[in-house]
Amino acid sequence: MSTLFFCGDTHGQFDHLIEAARLHKPAAMILLGDIQATAPLHEIFAPVMEHTEIWFIHGNHDTDSVAQYDHLYNSSLASNNLHGRVCEVAGYRIAGLGGIFRGQIWMPGQAQRFFDPPSYMAAGGRGNQWRTGVSRKHRSSIFPSDIAGLQGQKADILVTHEAPSCHPHGFVPIDHLARQLKVSVSFHGHHHDRRDYSRDVPRLGFQPFGVGLRGITALNGEVIRPGDMDHVEFPVDPRRRPRGV
């Protein structure tokens, strides 16, 4: 099988990805959200696309501005958005779930407020719309329909912006989705850290990896580039239960 690289939140910086792609020539690089592209995505990665495919999911910050949104979705790479579908990438079936849970839409452990974007728009009228669709902010919110649309499919790998429940700020619905898809491995960004999840594998039934801020991790878990904050020990409140339990 070909080499895949999973890339943590870039927040507008891409030189490290271009350097890694030139050095290692992976078959594909998958961006795990909070990309905050500073130019159309195909322009940023033009130097390496002849040997490396670029795929992505969005994060919560990718809808912060019209420019950042358009740099993803008006790019010629917009069709490589993995959110809400399963695609074959370099011989692997990869399922994607971009965005984050927000209480205005759905916070796991609480009642679902809106199932899908049309129901949210209908409840709020024009104030909940942008460019004939749901408001820009909530284009990076996870709706129950996003997960429902993936159920019944099968994949080898799940990529998400939010973390599964093994992270102190993770969510049980990510666990459930991974098991329903029958993936063997998952990768997430969002939290800018890289924790050891090895003790959680028997409970979860799959191997999760968190990829740190601007970090790069290969499919086998090898750290190609440590995240910028991987050395930081983030405090964990032992009283805190994962949201969604």
> Are residues 59 and 190 in contact, defined by beta-carbon separation less than 8 angstroms?
yes
Mean pLDDT of the chain: 93
Give the pLDDT score at 234: 64
What are 14-49's pLDDT values in tens digits?
999 999 999 999 999 999 999 999 999 999 999 999
| pTM greater than 0.85 (yes/no) | yes
DSSP codes joined into one string, 42-93: HHHTTTTTTT-EEEE---GGGGSSHHHHHHHHTSTTGGGB-BTSEEEETTEE
Least trusted range by pLDDT, from 88-97, 129-138, 216-225: 129-138
What are 83-122's pLDDT values in tens digits?
999 999 999 999 999 999 999 999 999 999 999 999 999 9
